[in-house]
Amino acid sequence: MISSSAVASLIPYGWDEAWADEFAAHASEGLLPGRVVRVDRGQCDVITADGAVRADTAFVTPHDPMRVVCTGDWVAVDPGGNPRYVRTYLPRRTAFVRSTSSKRSEGQILAANVDHAVVAVSLAVEVDLGRIERFLALAWESGAQPVVVLTKADLVPDPVALSYLVQDVETAAPGVPVLTVSALHGEGLDALVALAAGGTSVLLGQSGAGKSTLANALLGEDVMDVRAARDVDGKGRHTTTTRNLLALPGGGVLIDTPGLRGVGLFDAETGVGQVFTEIQELAARCRFHDCAHESEPGCAVLAAVDSGELPVRRLESYRKLVRENQWIVAKTDARVRAELRRDWKRKGAAGRAAMEAKRRGWR
């Protein structure tokens, strides 16, 4: 059994009765529970009842990027020895996953057991709504609750201009809280502190978005290195090079991440649907259940675009993410590949028929 003092030392890192129940079988084997705060080259730092320990991850499947130990995992660790080993990790409640840059269409898990996915977006440069939608699709798919934080709000002194920016982001993020924050002046942080106190939060965003500054503001001290972003594009060098898990003084846990240059989808159909809920609702009114919202008669989505109810940009972004996700899934699913080939042939035949009809009309 795990002592009450051991439990008390893990509570600030998110330990609860449900985790204790999951760990019970490992406790009977004499293993120690702990939470991974950092992973580096096959080893990880783990917070346990014995304090912070360094452990090797060789016993956990190393060749599947979805099954490797990652920051945020709860693990079972050897009680002693040199080196110490992680024997297994507990089933994940949530997992933030993106596709890797490899040609094998593998998923890369960035953080585990996250309650809130905080997408940091800098107001120092033009806001990229498409990128926000991409981050949100991954966040929804992970099982975490997304929140968008517009950083460096002090760089938009005009309240009217700021309100328009917030409205644009809210349109791109239905059902997602949108907060404006100036970490430099401490404005807007109370809402973020309250949200972060309610579990584990992961900070996501491009390099230069102000994640490390946000992390320092939440921690109440300069723990994370901060470097200035370039004025020309708002990007900076990666100030965070690994994913680090930190207990917050006001309660809750924070995982800071390196700036993400690429955020490829990985089997995120549900997440994409949640980002574009209004398109999903409109699609239910289309004449054909398999409507592609391109040129079909009776398409409620295209009708909404024509009436101005649905912005063209939203539909284009939706199409792009749906195509990307289908492509990723098709690489590993033969059935989906076959369906896509049939769809491409059908559309090709329809296009050729349309061109032939035009030629006949010209004659």
Q: Which residue has the tokens 């005009």?
A: 158
Taking the C-alpha atoms of residue 26 and residue 32, their distance in angstroms, rounded to an integer, is 8
Distance from CA of residue 148 to its chain's centroid? Answer: 11
Q: What is the mean pLDDT of residues 149-165?
A: 94
pLDDT tens digits, 17-73: 999 999 999 999 999 999 999 998 889 999 998 889 999 998 886 677 788 899 999
Please, how many CA atoms are within 13 Å of residue 226, restricted to the half-sphere of its CB?
14
- Please report the DSSP string for 23-72 in residue order: HHHHHTTT-EEEEEEEEETTEEEEEETTEEEEEE-TTS-SS-TTTS--TT
Give the pLDDT band (50/70/90) at residue 173.
Answer: very high
Taking the C-alpha atoms of residue 195 and residue 192, their distance in angstroms, rounded to an integer, is 5
Give the pLDDT band (50/70/90) at residue 230.
Answer: very low
Neighbour order of strands in the sheet with 200-204: 178-180, 145-151, 116-122, 200-204, 253-256, 244-247
Lowest average pLDDT, out of 78-92, 205-219, 258-272, 332-346, goes to 332-346
Higher pLDDT, 242 or 99: 99
178-180 and 107-112 beta bridge pairing: unpaired
Q: At what angle do helices 129-142 and 159-172 cross, to 10 degrees?
A: 50
Which neighbouring-strand residues pair with 55?
44, 84
For 200, the 3-state DSSP assignment is strand
pLDDT tens digits, 90-102: 999 999 888 765 4
For residue 220, pLDDT beyond 70: yes
Higher pLDDT, 233 or 217: 217
